[in-house]
Amino acid sequence: MKEKISPFTVFGFFGVLASILLIVLFGTVGLEEVILSDSVSAATSSNVAVTAEVTTTITCDSSPGSTAFGTLSSTATSTASPNASTTMACTNSGGGCTLYVKDAGNTASSGLATSSPAYLIPSPNAAADASTTLVAGTEGYGIQATTTSAGLTIDSRYDQTGDIVGGLSLTDIIIASSTADITDAEVIVTHMAAISEATPPGIYEDTITYSCLVND
pLDDT digit string, tens, across residues 144-160: 999 999 999 999 999 99
What is the residue type of 197?
Answer: E
Q: What's the per-residue H, E or C state across 12-50?
A: CCCCCEECCEECCCCCCCCCCCCEECCCCCCCCCCCCCC
Alpha-carbon distance values, 60 to 11, 118, 121, 133, 210 (Å): 96, 33, 29, 30, 8
Residues 48-69 pLDDT 10s: 999 999 999 999 999 999 999 9
Q: Which domains does the chain have, with CATH numbers?
A: 57-214 (2.60.40)
Do the beta carbons of residue 13 and residue 25 sit within 8 Å?
yes
Q: Please give the Cα distance from 97 to 59 (Å, whole number).
A: 10
Residues 97-133 pLDDT 10s: 999 999 999 999 999 999 999 999 999 999 999 999 9
Q: Who contacts 181 (Cβ-Cβ below 8 Å, separation ≥6)?
A: 90, 91, 92, 93, 96
Asked if the model's pLDDT at residue 76 lies above 80, the reply is yes
pLDDT classification of 39: cutoffs 50, 70, 90: low
* Mean pLDDT for the chain overall: 86
- pTM strictly above 0.75: yes
Q: Please give the Cα distance from 164 to 129 (Å, whole number).
A: 12
Torsion sign across C-alpha atoms 213, 214, 215, 216: negative
